[in-house]
Amino acid sequence: MSLKEKTIEELENKIERIERVIAKKGVGSEYLSKAEKIQRNLNLALFFGGITLVTGLTAWALLSSNDE
């Protein structure tokens, strides 16, 4: 790696660290963390709801075909 590439990589790492600090302790960070938790919970609910729906439809299809 050349000196220029190393310098660019180090600067990018420092910028990322600064952005993480700002995200954790900056203005609005509390609202951001709440929004991330809400989004995670919503994603989990949709995922498990989808699995339940597919399982229910599969069970219904299998049971209804056996009745005929």
Domain boundaries, the chain: 3-67
CB burial string 34-49: b at 16+ within 10 A, e below: eeeeeeeeeeeeeeee
pLDDT of residue 57 exceeding 60, the answer is: yes
The whole-number pLDDT of residue 24 equals: 80
Instruction: Answer whether residue 43 shows pLDDT above 90.
Output: yes
Would you state the pLDDT for residue 42? 97
pLDDT at residue 65, rounded to an integer: 80
Pick 1 or 44 by higher pLDDT. Answer: 44
Question: What would the mean pLDDT of 14-26 be, rounded to a whole number?
Answer: 87
| 68 confidence band (pLDDT: 50, 70, 90) | low
Residue 52, φ and ψ in degrees, nearest 5? -65, -40
Report helix, strand or coil for 9.
helix
